[in-house]
Amino acid sequence: MTLSLSRRLIVLAVAVLLLGGLAAALVLRAASRDDKPSAGGPTVAPGTVTLTRPGTLTFLNGGQGPHRGALASVPADAPDSERTASELNCRRFYAASGTGVCLRSTPGALAQDNKALIVDSELRTLRSFPLAGTPSRARVSPSGRFAAWTVFVSGESYGAAFFSTRTAIVDTRTGKLEANLEEFTITMDGREHRAQDVNFWGVTFSKDDDTFYATLSTGGETHLVKGSISGRSVTTLAKNVECPSLSPDETRIAYKKRVRAGASLWREHVMDLGTLREHALAEKRSVDDQAAWLDDRTLAYGLPTDGAADSTDLWTVPADGSGTPRLLAPGASSPVRLG
């Protein structure tokens, strides 16, 4: 390569123009998606969503278009009908008894700005908590009093991916925050367990507003734990249980079970809390979500949309292991059946 300086500068200028043009086109294409809904996708209309209307299914609208990420609602018995989209935008959402928790992530100047919002039934923000990382799981207790969330904390930049979870529980009435469940006393196999590699995620609440279940990870294993908010303690119950979800009648939990050690493959299971007996569900695909109970017999969960990188669809499957998975809503996540 013995190009003269001026030749090289010309080549550089051409490269800058070409690559810059391509980059600008990519950004513009992505930006224009915000304005027009994708063809053939579900229809969405702006409107009012309230968290106290029984027989409603809410979820985060995931389809491309102007209402991407908005909390939307459809009648539970007609999930294919037109979606009503609210102004509330979240990454994860859950609600019960007129209280919602919305994990929001907006691009800041230097880093993502992540917040947990507690909203009332009209979606007005009651409280707001900063988050240390990327939103992952959210739940509200059946009474609406407690909310919990899990975020992934990535420790640094410079290409080193380092992840740890942080799970918090907040009393939505008093605002009292348990910022890190790792401070709770852990009883494992009858003995107090102290370790620094403890991570919690995926809280699910009981009706009594004290008992909760969650996943505890330590020593390379995951455990189902049963905890007490007032006692600030948890006890291990079973192994290889992630993202538990307590059934409305509180007799069973649905959870994802790692199929093979080390692999990122999970099968959705249901465990009877009385006998600790478990059975696999009819869903054969790998589920990486905290499933939600639509009623005592049916579960809903998200699966990546075929062929689309950043979209999930909602599916349902019977909780007793029978039947087959059924598409509930394309381009959606964080399902909640308002009771």
Partner 1 sequence: MYLADRSAPAGAEPAPDRGPVRAAAVAPTVLALGTVSLITDISSEMVTAVLPLYLIAGLGLSPLGFGALDGVYNGVSALVQLTGGHLADRVRNHKLIAGIGYGLSALCKPLLLFAHSLGPISVILTLERTGKGLRTAPRDALISLSTPPELQGRAFGVHRAMDTTGALLGPLAAFLILSVAVDGYDAVFGVSACVAALGVVVLMLFVPSGDGDTRPRPRPRPPVPRTAEADSVDAAAEPAAVAAAAAVPAADRPAPVRLRDALGLLRLPRLRNLAICAVLLGLTTVSDAFVYLLLQRRTGIGDQWFPLLPLGTAAVFLVLAVPAGALADRIGRRTVFLTGHALLLAGYALLLWAPDQPALPYLVLALHGMFYAATDGVLPAAVAATVPAELRATGLALVGTGQALARFGCSLAFGAAWTLWGAGPALAAAAAGLLCCAAVAGFVLRPAAPDVPLPDPNRTGSP
Q: Which residues within the stretch 234-273 sit at the binding site for partner 1 (CB under 8 A)?
A: 242, 262, 264
**Cβ 276 to partner 1 shortest distance, Å:** 24
**Cβ 174 to partner 1 shortest distance, Å:** 20
Q: Which of residues 12-71 bind partner 1 (CB under 8 A)?
A: 12, 15-16, 19-20, 22-23, 26-27, 29-31, 33-34, 68-69
Q: Give first-to-last CA distance, the chain, whole Å.
A: 72
* Contact predicate 211/235, CB 8 Å: no
Phi-psi region of 80 (alpha: psi -120 to 50; beta: other; left: phi over 0): alpha
**Cβ 322 to partner 1 shortest distance, Å:** 26
Question: Alpha helices of 33-124 — where are they, by DSSP H?
Answer: none
185 binds partner 1 (CB under 8 A): no
Q: Which is nearer to partner 1, 190 or 262 (CB)?
A: 262
243: closest CA among 297, 286, 196, 210?
Answer: 286
**Cβ 117 to partner 1 shortest distance, Å:** 14
The one segment of 46-54, 127-135, 227-235, 277-285 that binds partner 1 by CB under 8 A: 127-135
**Cβ 77 to partner 1 shortest distance, Å:** 26
107 binds partner 1 (CB under 8 A): yes
How many residues bind to partner 1 according to rule CB under 8 A?
A: 75
Q: Out of 41, 304, 321, 323, which residue is the one contacting partner 1 (CB under 8 A)?
A: 304
d(CA 105, CA 108) in angstroms, rounded, equals 9
**Cβ 4 to partner 1 shortest distance, Å:** 7
Q: Out of 165, 172, 204, 240, which residue is the one contacting partner 1 (CB under 8 A)?
A: 165
Residue type, 193: H
Helix%, strand%, coil% for the chain, nearest 5: 10, 50, 40
283 binds partner 1 (CB under 8 A): no
Q: Out of 44, 73, 85, 91, which residue is the one contacting partner 1 (CB under 8 A)?
A: 91
Residue linked to tokens 């639509």: 294
Q: Which is nearer to partner 1, 67 or 226 (CB)?
A: 67
Q: Which of residues 194-233 bind partner 1 (CB under 8 A)?
A: 195-197, 199, 201, 217
* Contact predicate 286/265, CB 8 Å: yes
Q: Out of 6, 77, 78, 109, which residue is the one contacting partner 1 (CB under 8 A)?
A: 109
**Structural element, H or E, at residue 255:** strand 252-258
The one segment of 40-48, 94-102, 192-200, 228-236 that binds partner 1 by CB under 8 A: 192-200
d(CA 135, CA 337) in angstroms, rounded, equals 21
d(CA 267, CA 82) in angstroms, rounded, equals 32
Q: Which is nearer to partner 1, 154 or 187 (CB)?
A: 154
**Degrees, nearest 5: CA angle 210-212-215:** 155
Burial class of residue 107 (count of CB atoms within 10 Å of its CB; 0-12, 13-18, 19+): exposed
**Degrees, nearest 5: CA angle 113-310-35:** 80
Q: Which is nearer to partner 1, 229 or 243 (CB)?
A: 243
312 binds partner 1 (CB under 8 A): yes
